[in-house]
Every structure is written in structure tokens, then in C-alpha cells.
Structure 1
Amino acid sequence: MTANSAWWDADADEYQATHGRFLGDADFVWCPEGVRESDAGLLGAVAGADVLEIGCGSAPCARWLTARGARTVALDLSAGMLRHAREGNERTGLHPVLLRAGAEQLPLRSDSFDVACSAFGAVPFVASIDAVFSEVARVLRPGGRWVFSVTHPLRWIFPDDPGPNGLTATQPYFDRTPYVEVDGDGAATYVEYHRTLGDFVRSLDSAGLRLVDLVEPEWPEGHTRNWGQWSPLRGKLFPGTAIFRTVFRP
């Protein structure tokens, strides 16, 4: 957690400069493929709902939700990303509540939200998805929805490369060893965790979060933007994103 917090703090300005225009100031983009909540409707009705965004980054999704009548709370571990979130709030006049917190211990009351969501936030960077999903279930009301997007687990077997080198499998799908970057002293500076599709399903089920859909977005025609390992070349052949839609049924 400490490594990723420091990494995102250091990368916040560059990330915003690179991706801010694509993500928008008050738009809900689920993934590099460009799936928008305004088109997909994965969260269901949000007007008048209590909505929690986990791993909000600069909070464009939270502002989109607020603009549509949701009472929105958005949290992130990175102070650097939350600085951009506050600036976005001032630019737009939309003010979801912003909190600095991790996803494994939510500083929120139980049974207080109708919807929880995360667009590539927090879930890939925590050591325990069981802890995250249990916390999400705790703060959701019965029947509440939890929808989140992550890198498709299939991508783990390929090099993190948008070009031809990223088309050849080199890593075992079942190897759950985290990806770790270290500094010159050997201290971890970035950590990302791999789970199989089955790992996600079992962890969700144990928390009482029932899977109702698994969306694997196809690469859209005419979409030419590379984002890290995401590219038209790879997107035409295999999925890059998995979006899990669940309902809390205790």
C-alpha cells in the first residue's frame, strides 16, 4: 500500500497530462476501450442514490455521478491524485465528497450506500481482494450494486507491450506472483496483483456479492488510441478489460 501510494503521488501530474483529456472532467469512462457509463448503463439508476467510488483518481467519474443526481463519495489513497480531484471539482462546480483512504479499510458506516464502483481503481493494487470485497459488502445496503473494471486476467500471460511483442504468451496464467518494481535500494515502488477469473468469482461470492454479468469490451471500430499495453493491434485479438457487475445479497 505504501509503495503504490508513493508511486501514484509521484505519477499524478504525468498521468493527468497524458490521460486527463480522454477521461474528461466529468465523464465516466470504464476502460481504455472507451466504454462510457452514459452508454453502457452498468450501474443502473443513480439519481438520488448514495454512491461510493473506490480509487477515484482525479474523480471524473464521481463528478459525472454527482451531475446526475447521485450523493457521491469518492476516495483514493493518493494525495497527488486527490489534488487533481479537488482542482476538477473547482473547475466544474461539481463537488463529490473526497476522502483519502485505502480500499481494504473503508472509513464509512455500514449499510450506507446503494451503489459502489471502481474504474481501474484500487482493486489491482491491493494484497487482499477478500478484504476489499468484504468492506464493499459491509457498506452496501442489501440489493446494492458493486461494479468494477480491471485489466482482464488473460492479459497477465502476455508482455506489457502494445506492439507485436505483446502477442506472444510468456507468463503462466496461474502464476499469482505480484508484479513488483523496485528502486536502487531494492525497496518496492510499484506493486500490482494478478488474480484469475475464478479468483474474482470465488472472492465475490464469499462476500455475498453475486455476479450478474461479466463485460469484456471489444475494441471499438475506429478507436486508435494506445494506452499503455492497450492498443488496436491487441484489442482486435483478445480482451483487455473485464467489468464485473454484482449485487449484494447477504
Structure 2
Amino acid sequence: MDKNTLLQVWPIPAFDDNYIWCIHDGSSALVVDPGDAVPTLAYLRANNLTLKGILITHHHADHTGGILQILQNLGIDIPVYGPVGDDIPGRTVAVMQDDKVEIPSPRMSLKVFEVPGHTLSHIAYFANMQANVVEPMLFCGDTLFASGCGRLFEGTPTQMSESLGKFAALPKNTLVYCTHEYTLSNIRFALAVEPNNLNLLSWADQAKSLREQGLPTLPTTIGQELQVNPFMRCDQAEVIAMAKEISGQAELPTPAHVLAVIRAWKDRF
């Protein structure tokens, strides 16, 4: 296999709305957040792929539940990367902010971001421009979704705001591989926040068409999320105004205050 073979990223559907991402070069593969071993193993076998590593973003069972069965089937020496703050069954390499995950095959270099909010020790993996990566790629688990963000099970609005800020600073062409197909419901809420957002209205039509064809709405891009995702737009006048209206507060001094209001609204939407 040519060391510069372009990497492919494929969504393996699991449960009702999860995607297990498989990154491969045609022969060697990584999988991200394999909550279910059965479809993961089936995809690897159907495509004659050799699993060389597992990337975990956080401890929730729908992201980790397939690890041990995969290792039992394919080999317990396969490295499993995951956040340092969680006790994840099967994890062999604990990683933290700014660590580099170097995968020899498929050849890949990933930077780790700590992105608390959904969980306290949630991490994301970022692959910048490499010979075999046409555009930067972000594997962000349940922190950032297409047109939404993760529910705050463990972290605070301030933590989530800071985590999304790390993503906002990435190149706008960064492909965002989140792990749930929540896009249509997220768009419905986003339109309640910003009913006059023309980019969002256009995206709503596009996403609806994709789902009607049975296609995923992912990956999205950082640039698109900055245009359509209310949780990435907490510094924008229309989002701030709507948050003030919903909360009855005259002042929301920071984007984190705005995010706190619209995240609580989304939870009951």
C-alpha cells in the first residue's frame, strides 16, 4: 500500500442514530467510538480491513460498549486510545490535551484536545494537513454535533463554551465527524433560535434531502457550523437577543452565559 494513499472515512451505523467512524487506507483501519462490536466487525471483514487501533472520545457505553468484544475477536494487542480521566475497559493508552497519537498504519498523526462539557474528561482527535489527508479532520464524539452540541451531563456551560471555542479556532475546512445523526432535530431547534438565518434555512433543506435519500448529514465542517450552529454562535446578535428573551435576563455578559440559556432551552425543547 502506498504510504500516501488517501484515507477514507466511513460511517458504520449502530443503534438508532450512532455512527462508528472507520478510517482506513484500503487495508489498515482505525475505528472511532465503537459502541457496538457487531456492525464494526462486519464492516471490517466485508472490506478486508485489518484493525490497527481504536480511538475513544468519552466513557459512555454507546461509544465504548464494543471494545472488549472487538479485541477478543481481532487481537488483544490492538491499541485503544482514550481520555486519561476515565476508566474505560480495554483502554491501553491514556491521552490528554496536546498529546499526539501517531498511527503507523493507516499512517496518521492526531492531536488530542480536551473538550469537557458533555463529560468532564471528553476528548477529541484532530488530524491536520498530511500527505494522505486532503482536508483536516476532527473526530469530536458528542461535544459538537451538526447544528448542535452535546447535553451537559457532567460539565458546565463555561466548559462547553471553551471546548467549542477550541473547535472554532480550527481551519474552516475541517471536516467534523461527530457520532450521532441528530441533525434534523438540531436544525429544528436552531431555527427556533435563529429563524432568519439564511445559511441555516438553506442547510435545513439540504439536510432534509440527504436524510430522505437515506444518506448521512455528516461530515459537516467547522466553517458551516460557525454559520448555522447556535452553540457556535453565542456571540451573534440574534442568538444573544433570543437568549435574553427566553431567559428574561437583561444582560448575558459572555458567550458562556448565552450558551447556558440556549442549552437549557434545548433540553426542554
Q: Structure 1-normalised TM-score? A: 0.38
Larger Rg: 2
Q: Greater relative contact order: 1 or 2 (C-alpha under 8 angstroms, separation 6 or more)?
A: 1
Q: Structure 2-normalised TM-score? A: 0.36
